[in-house]
Amino acid sequence: MDRFKAVFFEEATTLINELERVSLLLHNNPSDSSITEQIFRIMHTLKGNSTMFGFYRIGDFTHHFETLYDYIREGKMSVTDNVLNITFASVDHLRVLLTDVELENSVHKINHENLIRGLIEVLNGTSGEESIKNNSSDHKIENKVSDSPTYWVKFVPEKGLVRKGTNVLFLLDDLSQLGATYTVSNTERLPDFKKLDPAEIYLSWEIYVSGSVTENSILDVFMFVEEDCELEIRKISETNLLDQDGFSTIARDVSLSIDDKILKFGGLVKKSSSKSRIEEVRNKMEKANERSIITSKDNSISSIRVASEKLDELMSLVSELVTTQARLNLVSEQIASSELISISENIEKITRQLRDNTFSICLIPIENLLVRFQRLVRDLSTQLNKDVVFVSEGADTELDKNIIENLADPLMHIFRNSLDHGIESGEERVKKGKPAQGKILLKAFYSGNSVIIQIRDDGKGIDPEMIRQKAISKGLITADQNLDRRQIFDLIFLPGFSTAEKVTEVSGRGVGMDVVKRQITEIRGEVEVESVLNEGTTINIKLPLTLSIIDGLLVKINATHFVIPLGNVDKCFEANHEEFVDKINDLIILDGEQVPFIYLRDEFDIKENCPQLHQVVVVKQDDRRVALSVDTIIGEYQAVLKPLGRLYKSVDVISGATILGNGEVALVVDPNRIIKEYIFNQIHNEVLQ
């Protein structure tokens, strides 16, 4: 059973996410009936699933929700802000319900009750049944519901019906699903209490149904009990009688026969019917149903759901295959048998295809992230009382799922910043001659081997001079330091720098842009800010396509192999050993330029077998260039990244390991770290001197 529940939770989560996505669409196009139809269907599925698995609270909750959208899709209600708010609150609450099924947390429980009350209140404004009880004559409602015919149903069940396993009340419930109902029970058959057999039914009912119903749809309800009851159905009016004044008095009078009642009802009718509209609604519904069947068929064929651990496992197996393949190549070359070489080449081809395929499986479109940002923008802009629209471009750009997962937090933070500090209030914007509505654009696109994500707002921008002053006041830079524009904007990412003048609930949560930078660096990404005062701020994030494979330069120092990521490699040179020793300023002249160098043999504490001639790899990070000395450069190498594990957490200049064709382990160098460490040491040394 637990396994089934797990499936339910997974499906429910997908449904809720889908619901959120669709609700956001509705927010933008409140009048699009296909969207309300979709929401109704999602709720319907969720209700069915949850009741089936015994999550009655979810079932109950979704039932109310479903009714709401049922009214909307039938045109009995329109999508108001109130409806939208309650929809989003419900989405959040459904997520809560999944984690706290029994509502053990009292806050959740109160929330649950409030939401249901809210839903019922919204519904009460429209339900035909309710409006009769309250005898309300709300003009709007009358108009909307009056297009439906009224049927009279007399249902006299056989006394023994319950023994056959039928719950008669369910039938009445089902009937009320068809439209507004008014039910009159007839107690004539009730015997004396002493003679009453609790297993028999003595009651019978007269039910008035109004809505988009037909005789057939009513007959359908009683399909399974037809043989065991007395059933009479008559159309008594083309219009909705239920919301006419005086209807209930006539309906309740059991002494009158139905024919007499019809006569009396006739006096109540004020409006003529318009049958065509009912047909129209019904056709639309049928079409929508057809459509849903087709789409669900498509889905079942074109995609399957796979646990992400399985994907990770597949990925690591493929990586292993790539490694083994490299080894096979090596061996087959050594043996030099043409037959073996041809087999090995074939396997190499297949391996490559398999690898590319597997990687593409693990890529997911960035769209998966966007829903929550849309939501964030909607919620925050309401909270901040700003009118902001969120636009995205290139939502189909694909990234490794691990990157996407780790991208949510930093992006969230950037969005909060933009909304809170970037975009001005409506009046301020108008004063500046900008449109009152602010705009945040998220643009994703491929650029070579990376993906660029830009978040651009049209807010007030950042004043570089202000950043400078702030950095000076915080002691991050000295007043006489000369920084170019880029360097000034980079200051934002330093720990201890926060441009927020005041701490607000929205963005002042104690995390600054330094955390954003760190989180992005962790997924091997880069981030930078560009801003024009009063025009807006753009944040550029550059990310690798995948985390598990990098193109690198394979080098060797003594017996140890190292891989330097190719993205950081600028140029390669040769240099004599003497050029590296006994230098005071640690500078080497390459191509007529002075470049600071790091003698890796000293840095990594490797002393054995020092060669006379060194190879030099110049790595660059942003605008900084540093030369790294190695013994030999072997060549380009596609490295499958393996973590070094927790024991080596403290060694940050090595970001991982990879396994070479001959089975040895090569270490992957993180040039950014080395450069950073170098600069740190320089400053340290200067201070000491």
Partner 1 sequence: MSIENLNVSNSYLSFKLENETFAVTVERVHEILEIPTVTKVPKSPDFMTGVINLRGNVLPVIDTRIKFGLAKTDFTIDSCIIVLSIMMENEQITIGALVDSVQEVLELSSEKILPSPALGSKYKAEFIQGMIKNDEDFIMVLNIDEVFSINELHQMKENTSETII
Pairing of strands 438-447, 450-457: antiparallel
Interacting span for partner 1 (CB under 8 A) from 112-120, 125-133, 482-490, 653-661: 653-661
The residue among 51 and 560 lying less far from partner 1, judged by its C-beta, is 560
CB of 307 to partner 1, least distance (A): 20
Residue 664 found at the interface with partner 1 (CB under 8 A): yes
Interface characters, 181-220, with partner 1 (x: CB under 8 A): ----------------------------------------
Within 557-576, which residues bind partner 1 (CB under 8 A)? 560-561
The residue among 497 and 604 lying less far from partner 1, judged by its C-beta, is 604
Please report the DSSP string for 67-88 in residue order: HHHHHHHTTSS---HHHHHHHH
The count of chain residues that interact with partner 1, using the rule CB under 8 A, is 29
Cα–Cα distance, 403 to 384 (Å, whole number): 30
Cα–Cα distance, 363 to 401 (Å, whole number): 6
Residue 653 found at the interface with partner 1 (CB under 8 A): yes
Of positions 391, 651, 679, 683, contacts partner 1 by CB under 8 A: 651
136: closest CA among 302, 252, 14, 248? 248
Residue 348, CA distances (Å) to 330, 341, 351, 554 in order: 12, 10, 5, 20
Q: Are 548 and 641 in contact (CB under 8 A)?
A: yes
Residue 605 found at the interface with partner 1 (CB under 8 A): yes
User: What type of residue is 210?
Assistant: S
Residue 604 found at the interface with partner 1 (CB under 8 A): yes
Q: Determine which helix (DSSP H) or strand (DSSP E) holds 261, and give its type and residue range.
A: helix 258-266
Cα–Cα distance, 375 to 394 (Å, whole number): 18
Of positions 48, 435, 495, 663, contacts partner 1 by CB under 8 A: 663
The residue among 48 and 663 lying less far from partner 1, judged by its C-beta, is 663
Q: Are 513 and 470 in contact (CB under 8 A)?
A: no
Of positions 603, 620, 625, 661, contacts partner 1 by CB under 8 A: 603
Q: Where are the alpha helices (DSSP H) in 433-570?
A: 464-473, 485-490, 513-522
Q: Can you read off the two tokens belonging to residue 292?
A: 């849903």
Residue 646 found at the interface with partner 1 (CB under 8 A): yes
229: closest CA among 152, 162, 153, 161? 161
Q: Are 457 and 440 in contact (CB under 8 A)?
A: yes
The residue among 201 and 667 lying less far from partner 1, judged by its C-beta, is 667
The residue among 15 and 659 lying less far from partner 1, judged by its C-beta, is 659
Of positions 648, 680, 684, 685, contacts partner 1 by CB under 8 A: 648
Interacting span for partner 1 (CB under 8 A) from 118-126, 160-168, 357-365, 599-607: 599-607
Q: Where are the alpha helices (DSSP H) in 74-156?
A: 81-99, 106-124, 128-133, 139-145
Residue 645 found at the interface with partner 1 (CB under 8 A): yes
Residue 329 found at the interface with partner 1 (CB under 8 A): no
The residue among 512 and 552 lying less far from partner 1, judged by its C-beta, is 552
The residue among 225 and 610 lying less far from partner 1, judged by its C-beta, is 610
CB of 560 to partner 1, least distance (A): 6
Question: 586's torsion region: left (phi>0), alpha (psi -120 to 50) or beta?
Answer: left
Cα–Cα distance, 659 to 55 (Å, whole number): 49
Give 579's DSSP letter: G
CB of 660 to partner 1, least distance (A): 8
Size of the chain, expressed as the number of residues it contains: 689
Neighbours of 681 (CB within 10 A): 13
616: closest CA among 655, 560, 577, 665? 577
The residue among 343 and 665 lying less far from partner 1, judged by its C-beta, is 665
Residue 148 found at the interface with partner 1 (CB under 8 A): no
Within 309-328, which residues bind partner 1 (CB under 8 A)? 316, 319-320, 323-324
Residue 661, CA distances (Å) to 138, 270, 580, 638 in order: 80, 89, 32, 11
Residue 606 found at the interface with partner 1 (CB under 8 A): yes
Residue 590, CA distances (Å) to 567, 593, 603, 653 in order: 20, 5, 21, 24
The residue among 203 and 606 lying less far from partner 1, judged by its C-beta, is 606
The residue among 502 and 649 lying less far from partner 1, judged by its C-beta, is 649
The residue among 242 and 653 lying less far from partner 1, judged by its C-beta, is 653
Interacting span for partner 1 (CB under 8 A) from 196-204, 304-312, 576-584, 646-654: 646-654
Of positions 83, 595, 618, 666, contacts partner 1 by CB under 8 A: 666
Residue 435 found at the interface with partner 1 (CB under 8 A): no
Residue 667 found at the interface with partner 1 (CB under 8 A): yes
Of positions 284, 556, 642, 676, contacts partner 1 by CB under 8 A: 642
Binding site for partner 1 (CB under 8 A): 316, 319-320, 323-324, 560-561, 603-606, 642-648, 650-651, 653-654, 657, 659, 663-667
